[in-house]
Homo-oligomer: A and B are copies of this chain.
Amino acid sequence: MSDPIVLYDIPLNANGTAWSPHTWRTRYTLNYKNLAYRTVWVPYTSIEPTSKRLAARPTSLWPDDAPRYTLPAIFDPSTNTPIADSIAIARYLDAQYPHTPRVIPEGTEGFHEAFLVALDAVTSPALRNLAMPASLVRIDDEAAKAKYKRDREWQVGGAMEEWAPEGSEKRVGLWRELEAGLAKVAKWYEAGEDKDRKFLMGDDPVMADFVVAGRLMWLKVVLGEEHEEWKAVETWHEGRWAKLLKDLEVYAEVKV
């Protein structure tokens, strides 16, 4: 039996709490496919050197066009393959392990790409402006915290503390914006005959569901599940988002 796949994830704290919306997608994917894997925690400050050592490719560009390395990445010892980017990882796993359920069903590759654009169009920047500062507060390591702040402010502009200050009108407005955006996503889930299906395409989840759930997990983890703002999200759209996470809970195990 070959060694398990390695999932490289970013820890929120010394306990290694999983919080990144992007690495959550890959965890859901690996668990859903029931592939053997283990998690290696990579501090936020070590993403680039770790990726380079793995020979995982940069996935995007920084504002100055420098190559940007991101997690999740995986390393599959059975094929000696490193891959970064949650969608590229899903494609690789679908192709490499054809006996496992596909997370990007044949023919939906283009729809999945468009789905990412649509989801950004309706949930960003509200989600980003709320969740990034909430993440900053929760990141334990001082060097990681400082780099996260610097990187995100470089991307977005302005001081993170000003994006969504607690108790501000601005923050209330962002929550309202996010709720309105997710109302549109709820309509996508309700389109078609089978309005009671669990997931976007039916009763089996696909990558698009993991993308939505990853964003929700991000909010839930960095706000804390007892936070009143998260509690409110759980009531939106007849509890749809709480139910989505519940329906995916069986694939949410953090295997270390």
Chain A interface residues toward B at CB < 8 A: 91, 95, 104-115, 117-122, 184, 187-189, 191-193, 200-202, 208
Taken together as a complex, chains A and B put the C-alpha atoms of A208 and B188 apart, in Å, by 14
Please give the distance in Å from A66's CB to the nearest CB on chain B. Answer: 21
- Bound Cα distance A193, B193 (Å): 30
Q: State the CA gap A122–B108 with chains docked (Å).
A: 19
Q: How far apart are A196's CB and chain B's nearest CB, in angstroms?
A: 13
Provide the residues of chain B in CB contact with A201, threshold 8 Å: 107-108, 110-111
Please determine whether A111 and B108 come into contact, CB atoms closer than 8 angstroms. Answer: yes
Which residues in B have their C-beta under 8 angstroms from that of A200? 110-111
- Residue of B whose beta carbon sits closest to that of A110: B188
Max chain B CB contacts within 10 Å: which of A120, A191, A202? A191
CB-CB under 8 A for A113 and B193, given A107-B201, A108-B108, A202-B107? no
CA distance A108 to B200 in the complex (A): 8
- From B113, B117, B120, B192, give the contact of A110 (CB < 8 A): B192
Task: List 8 additional A-B contacts (Cβ < 8 Å) besides A106-B192, A108-B108, A118-B118.
Answer: A105-B107, A106-B202, A107-B201, A110-B191, A110-B200, A111-B200, A111-B201, A117-B184
- CB < 8 Å neighbour of A118 from B104, B121, B189, B193: B121
Partner of A114, one of B104, B106, B114, B193: B114
State which of B108, B120, B121, B192 has its C-beta within 8 Å of the C-beta of A109. Answer: B192
CA distance A92 to B188 in the complex (A): 17
> CB distance B202 to A113 under 8 Å?
no
* CB–CB B113/A187 < 8 A: yes
Instruction: Report B-chain residues with C-beta under 8 Å of the C-beta of A115.
Output: 111, 114-115, 118
